[in-house]
Amino acid sequence: MPHRPQLALIGPMGAGKSSIGRALAGLLERPFIDLDRAIEAAAGAEIPLIFELEGEAGFRRREREALAAHLAGTGAVIACGGGVILDPDNRQLLRERAFVVHLVASVDEQLERLARDRSRPLLRTGDRRERLRELAREREPLYAGCADLSFHGRGGAPAVAARELAGRLVEISPDLVVRDDD
Minimal distance, residue 171 CB to ligand S3P, in Å: 27
- Interaction of residue 158 with ligand S3P, rule CB under 6 A: no
Residue closer to ligand S3P (CB basis): 106 or 173: 106
* Nearest by Cα to 103 from 58, 144, 46: 144
- HSE-CB at 181 with a 13 A cutoff on CA atoms is 5
Distances (CA, A) of 123 to 65, 73, 117, 138, 170: 24, 32, 9, 15, 36
Give residues 64-103 in contact with ligand S3P (rule: CB under 6 A): 81-83
Task: Please say which residue, 29 or 125, places its beta carbon nearer to ligand S3P.
Answer: 125
Among 38, 120, 162, 177, binds ligand S3P (CB under 6 A): 120
Whole-angstrom distance, CA of residue 63 vs CA of residue 84: 7
Q: What phi and psi values does residue 80 have, to the nearest 5 degrees? A: -95, 155
Residue among 47 and 177 whose Cβ is closer to ligand S3P: 47
CB 79 within 8 A of CB 33: yes
Q: Residue 47 CB, nearest distance to ligand S3P (Å)?
A: 5
Question: Does 121 participate in binding ligand S3P (rule CB under 6 A)?
Answer: yes
Closest to ligand S3P by CB, 64 vs 163, is: 64
Q: State how far the Cα of 79 lies from the Cα of 96, in Å rounded to an integer.
A: 16
Which residues ranging from 7 to 36 are in contact with ligand S3P (CB under 6 A)?
13, 17, 36
Please report, as ranges, the residues that interact with ligand S3P according to CB under 6 A: 13, 17, 36, 47, 81-83, 120-122
